[in-house]
A = this chain, B = another copy of it.
Amino acid sequence: MHHRETHTVEVAGLIRHFPLFEVAPGVRIAIFNMLGDTYVVKAAAAALAEQLRDVRADVLVTAEAKSIPLIYEMSALMGLPYVVLRKSYKSYMGDVIRSETVSITTGRPQTLFLDEKDHRLIIGKNVILIDDVVSTGSTLEGMQDIVERADARVAKVAAVFTEGNGDWSHVVALGNLPVFVDGAGS
């Protein structure tokens, strides 16, 4: 095996080894899954909350599911309510706002839904968009699209990691994950 199997990172002071996964021929990404890692969520939420303390915001917004523990912990630390955009429609959601995105992990389109009660919560508000990894920016664009159509304003974007060589200067993040092309970090 000339391919490495894992990518070792420091996240908010903790060391983790993320498995590598091929998303296209010769292209692999490091899989970061906070679900189940209470230590990383605690540490990352504290680090992000500190970096965001001077941002004037009313609500935190993310998309389900992997970032839910993070946004919950940030909500508790920052004293702000939060909203989770869902990936499937359920009839109790009422009148929803929806937006299409494409997942880098699956390559498939997915739809984000803002339910009616959460729409009422964010109208006219300043929101911080939260994600675990900002990569192609597709999920981020979907979240931003929904927030703006809900008559709210994106005050800041925050993620645990950015991924790849994009211009991520507008994203508050704790680190960057390389994209591995033909075995080399890009």
Interface residues of A (CB under 8 A from B): 19, 21, 31, 35-36, 38, 41-42, 64-65, 68-69, 72-73, 75-76, 81-84, 86, 90-92, 105-106, 118, 121
Q: Which among B69, B76, B86, B90 is the interface contact of A106 at CB below 8 angstroms?
A: B90
In the complex, what distance in Å separates the CA atom of A59 from the CA atom of B165? 38
| Inter-subunit contact B36/A81 (CB<8 Å) | yes
What would 10 A/B residue contacts be, using CB atoms closer than 8 Å?
A19-B92, A21-B91, A21-B92, A36-B84, A36-B118, A38-B75, A38-B76, A38-B81, A69-B69, A91-B106
| Inter-subunit contact A92/B105 (CB<8 Å) | yes
In the complex, what distance in Å separates the CA atom of A69 from the CA atom of B69? 5
In the complex, what distance in Å separates the CA atom of A46 from the CA atom of B76? 14
In the complex, what distance in Å separates the CA atom of A81 from the CA atom of B34? 12
| Inter-subunit contact A65/B86 (CB<8 Å) | yes
Residues of B within 8 A of A83 (CB): 36
In the complex, what distance in Å separates the CA atom of A81 from the CA atom of B73? 16
Residues of B within 8 A of A41 (CB): 72
In the complex, what distance in Å separates the CA atom of A42 from the CA atom of B35? 18
In the complex, what distance in Å separates the CA atom of A110 from the CA atom of B98? 22
Q: Which of A42, A72, A118 has the most CB of B within 10 A?
A: A72
The verdict on A92 contacting B31 (CB below 8 Å), with A64-B64, A65-B84, A73-B72 known, is: yes
Nearest residue (CB) in B for A34 is B72
Nearest residue (CB) in B for A118 is B36
Nearest residue (CB) in B for A64 is B65
